[in-house]
Amino acid sequence: MYGLYNFVTGPLVWASFAIFILGSIYRLVSMYALAKKKDAVSLAYMDWKFSFRSIFNWLIPFNALGWKKNPVLTVVTYVFHICLLATPILLSAHIILIEESWGVSWWTLSDSTADIMTILVIVACAFFAGRRLYQKDVRFLTTGQDWLILTIAALPFITGFLAYHQLFNYQVLIIAHVLAGNIMIAAIPFTRLSHMFFSVFTRAYMGSEFGGIRKAKDW
Amino acid sequence: MGIQDRLIEDVGLREGVSRLTEDKIQKTVNAVIQGETGARLKAYAEICLRCGMCTEACHFYLSHDQDPSYAPAAKVKQTIGTLLANSGRVSPDQIYNMAQIAYSECNLCRRCVHFCPVGVDTAYMMITMRRICHKLGVTPQYIQDTAHSHSATFNQMWVKDDEWTDTLQWQEDEARDEFPDLRIPLDKEGADVYYSVIAPEPKFRTQLIYQAAAILHTAKIDWTMPAEPGWDNSDMCMFTGDFEMMGRLKRKHFESAQKLKVKRIVMGECGHAFRSVYDVGNRWAGWKHYPVPVVHSVEFFWELLTQGKIKLVSKYPGPVTLQDPCNIVRGRGLGDKLREVIRILVDGEIVETASNREHNLCCSAGGGVINCGPPFKNARVAACKAKADQLRATGVKTIIAPCHNCHGGLDDTVHKYELGMEIKFLGDIIYQCMERPET
């Protein structure tokens, strides 16, 4: 068991971060090369000011028409994304591991706050799953890819929650948790999770078109 | 639920798919996807999270009892999404379904842009689908006829060269009863304004040319109209997916203006033609922006009225509501100027519809949908129910719609839903209320 634990928390973490970073660079560079080759009439209109105007306006909750018309989804989406990103980065257990390895550390969340944020992520995932199952339009749209990324996003939090509360077999769960985290990090460039970085550019492009050519807001 | 339950028989689509095989489809689809699309399509297809936020944006969805297959992302899934998922290998019957969705169930109005956090452009996906259909030879008959007309005559209504100048002289003649020294100057080099129209004007809305001539004459504008092809600024080829012809049309239009060395082009009250000139056709022809300044008549009327070149003897009795045409408001930010013009012209308030300005609901006619003709008319008007509800709720009797497609679409809508409203162009009102020059 210790051998396996050492493997998933050692070489596998390096591997998944390497896949994440190199994979992301590869995806971004190849996508940019493709855009330069085939989308000249789109790239030509990219504009810093209107890109940031659009990104900024879409980051404000309830600012865009879409957010206004989907209020429950808006709240869940914001809570989900904030907790999904902040919890693993600011979790004291994670920081202790990093400090032991490299001697660096930073501010952490209290364990009870992190616990609540973990529960919020799990609840949000359940909400998203519920929409996929029971909301007509979303059910019509849902594909296997959507279930895949929902599972990938939910598993580290579910296993982390169970391990932290020492429910079931701790040793198995902590290994499953690390494994799930590794899978998520490595999957980002190659699944729909890539919206993490591609959506910045699609948003910026839409902002540039609307600001520069259509002279209208796009939110 | 789904496109297969609402197929409409159209001879253009039917004949088109009868000539297809799966091999031919796959070859053509992949030629377009690999040859003409790139990172944009790839990114959109990859990052659409199927969240359903865009669903409520679409008037087709809102008007069809919330049938999920009409949601923007659902239309993408049933068309280009299916092609991508199957490497372009689908049956001819599936192409029929996809063509019906792309040509007749999306107005390319881009309201869904305001609903998508990651910035997916559904209109782009739909127009790419139409491009594939065009290459496959599967286009609705009526709109294809207008595209053929564009190819043969450079206007969409088969107006012959002599009929064009004849029509202008006829309108000049008519107008001289009212304005004895009025001219419609043809091919006047170096004029300040080159006035361009869409071909339905000489074909069956000639009074609009009369009105425009009256307004330009009264405002003492140095203007001209071209005697030769290039005068039609419209562009059905943009909507069928015939981009090569779209480029030729725009080139002809701009070159006709350049040849006359005019200062700028002023366009009549049309939405799609404006989109073609500033956003789509110009790009295909290789102009990042347009080579000759182009002004939509909403802006032009705003100039005439605020600079005192047109004075009013009366105001049009309000209250009124207005239709924000997607191509000039969501597409070109003319919402404020449009309202300023209306405030000058109308005595009474502007009662806004529940969705307005950039967030307006589409008239369901634009994007080439009305041009798909009679087979699709009932489905088109049915999709305007949400709009009809919003119009009825304003409680007013007049809709101002500065766009030909909006006009045509709302005409059918007002009739079908018994709204009892009349629809006006800005030109109608200016012509009615302006101070005539002393004779």
pLDDT recorded at residue B439:
60
Using the Cβ of A140 and the Cβ atoms of chain B, whether some distance falls under 8 Å is answered with yes
Look at A66-75, B115-124, B284-293, B363-372 and tell me which has the smallest mean pLDDT.
B284-293
CB contact under 8 A, A140 and B120: no
Instruction: Say what percent of chain B tops pLDDT 90.
Output: 98
Instruction: List the Cα angle B301/B305/B310 in 5-degree steps.
Output: 100
**Model pLDDT for residues B210-221, shown as the tens digit of each residue:** 999 999 999 999
Using the Cβ of A112 and the Cβ atoms of chain B, whether some distance falls under 8 Å is answered with no
The pLDDT of residue B61 is above 90: yes
Using the Cβ of A39 and the Cβ atoms of chain B, whether some distance falls under 8 Å is answered with yes
- What SS3 state is found at B422? strand
pLDDT recorded at residue B2:
85
The helix (H) or strand (E) run that includes residue B316 is: strand B316-317
Task: With beta carbons under 8 A apart, name residues in chain A contacting B55.
Answer: 137
Using the Cβ of A27 and the Cβ atoms of chain B, whether some distance falls under 8 Å is answered with no
- What SS3 state is found at B55? helix
Most B CBs within 10 A among A214, A215, A217, A219, hence the mutation to make, goes to A214
CB contact under 8 A, A70 and B53: yes
The pLDDT of residue A82 is above 70: yes
Across B410-430, average pLDDT? 97
Q: Are B399 and B424 in contact (CB under 8 A)?
A: yes
Nearest by CB to residue A38, choosing from B38, B51, B288, is B38
CB contact under 8 A, A64 and B42: no
Across B417-430, average pLDDT? 97
Using the Cβ of B57 and the Cβ atoms of chain A, whether some distance falls under 8 Å is answered with yes
User: Residue B337 — very low, low, confident or very high, per pLDDT cuts 50/70/90?
Assistant: very high
Using the Cβ of A214 and the Cβ atoms of chain B, whether some distance falls under 8 Å is answered with yes
CB contact under 8 A, A138 and B120: no
pLDDT recorded at residue B437:
86
User: The whole model's pTM is what?
Assistant: 0.96
CB atoms within 10 A of CB B191: 20
**How buried is residue B255: exposed, middle or buried, by Cβ count under 10 Å (0-12/13-18/19+)?**
middle
Residues A4, A6, A7, A9: is their CA dihedral positive or negative?
Answer: positive
Task: With beta carbons under 8 A apart, name residues in chain A contacting B279.
Answer: 213-214
Q: How many whole angstroms separate alpha carbon B354 and alpha carbon B359?
A: 9
Amino acid identity of residue B380, one-letter, is R
The pLDDT of residue A204 is above 70: yes
The helix (H) or strand (E) run that includes residue B294 is: strand B294-296
The pLDDT of residue B391 is above 70: yes
Q: What is the CA radius of gyration of chain A?
A: 20
Task: With beta carbons under 8 A apart, name residues in chain B contacting A210.
Answer: 113
CB contact under 8 A, A218 and B119: yes
Nearest by CB to residue B46, choosing from A41, A58, A194, is A194
The pLDDT of residue B438 is above 80: no
Using the Cβ of A9 and the Cβ atoms of chain B, whether some distance falls under 8 Å is answered with no
User: Residue A2 — very low, low, confident or very high, per pLDDT cuts 50/70/90?
Assistant: confident
Closest-CA residue of chain B to A129: B51
Nearest by CB to residue B39, choosing from A39, A215, A219, is A39
Q: What is the DSSP letter of B232?
A: B
Closest-CA residue of chain A to B327: A214
Task: With beta carbons under 8 A apart, name residues in chain A contacting B116.
Answer: 66
- What SS3 state is found at B321? strand
pLDDT recorded at residue B316:
98
User: What stretches of chain A show up as alpha helix (H) in DSSP?
Assistant: 2-9, 11-38, 40-43, 48-59, 65-69, 71-90, 92-102, 111-134, 136-141, 144-164, 170-187, 195-208
Residues B142, B146, B147, B153: is their CA dihedral positive or negative?
Answer: positive
CB contact under 8 A, B53 and A210: no
Q: Are B396 and B420 in contact (CB under 8 A)?
A: no
Across A76-85, average pLDDT? 98
- Going through B172-252 in order, the beta strands assigned E by DSSP cover 193-196, 223-224
Using the Cβ of B74 and the Cβ atoms of chain A, whether some distance falls under 8 Å is answered with yes
Query: Which residues have C-beta within 8 Å of that of residue B187, sequence separation ≥ 6?
Result: B224, B226, B227, B228, B260
Q: How many whole angstroms separate alpha carbon A81 and alpha carbon A74?
A: 11
Across B289-310, average pLDDT? 96
Nearest by CB to residue A146, choosing from B50, B54, B333, is B50
The helix (H) or strand (E) run that includes residue B340 is: helix B335-345
The pLDDT of residue B208 is above 70: yes
| Nearest chain A Cα distance for residue B156, angstroms | 25
Using the Cβ of B116 and the Cβ atoms of chain A, whether some distance falls under 8 Å is answered with yes
| Nearest chain A Cα distance for residue B266, angstroms | 18
**Model pLDDT for residues A90-142, shown as the tens digit of each residue:** 999 999 999 998 999 999 999 999 999 999 999 999 999 999 999 999 999 99
How far apart, in Å, are the Cα atoms of B352 and each of A6, B302, B396, B439? Answer: 66, 20, 10, 40
The pLDDT of residue A1 is above 80: no
Task: With beta carbons under 8 A apart, name residues in chain B contacting A144.
Answer: none
User: Residue B413 — very low, low, confident or very high, per pLDDT cuts 50/70/90?
Assistant: very high
CB contact under 8 A, B117 and A194: no
Task: With beta carbons under 8 A apart, name residues in chain A contacting B333.
Answer: 214-216
The pLDDT of residue B32 is above 70: yes
| Nearest chain B Cα distance for residue A114, angstroms | 27
CB contact under 8 A, B61 and A137: yes
- The answer, yes or no, to whether the previous bond of B229 is cis (omega within 30 of 0) is no
Nearest by CB to residue A138, choosing from B39, B46, B52, is B52
Most A CBs within 10 A among B41, B44, B55, hence the mutation to make, goes to B55
**Model pLDDT for residues B232-278, shown as the tens digit of each residue:** 999 999 999 999 999 999 999 999 999 999 999 999 999 999 999 99
Across B44-65, average pLDDT? 96
**Model pLDDT for residues B109-158, shown as the tens digit of each residue:** 999 999 999 999 999 999 999 999 999 999 999 999 999 999 999 999 99
Closest-CA residue of chain A to B328: A214
Using the Cβ of A206 and the Cβ atoms of chain B, whether some distance falls under 8 Å is answered with yes
Using the Cβ of B114 and the Cβ atoms of chain A, whether some distance falls under 8 Å is answered with yes
Q: Are A115 and A109 in contact (CB under 8 A)?
A: no
Query: Which residues have C-beta within 8 Å of that of residue A133, sequence separation ≥ 6?
Result: A139
CB contact under 8 A, A35 and B114: no
Average pLDDT, chain B: 97
| Nearest chain B Cα distance for residue A115, angstroms | 27
CB atoms within 10 A of CB A20: 18
Would you tell me the crossing angle of helices B141-153 and B243-259 to the nearest 10 degrees? 40
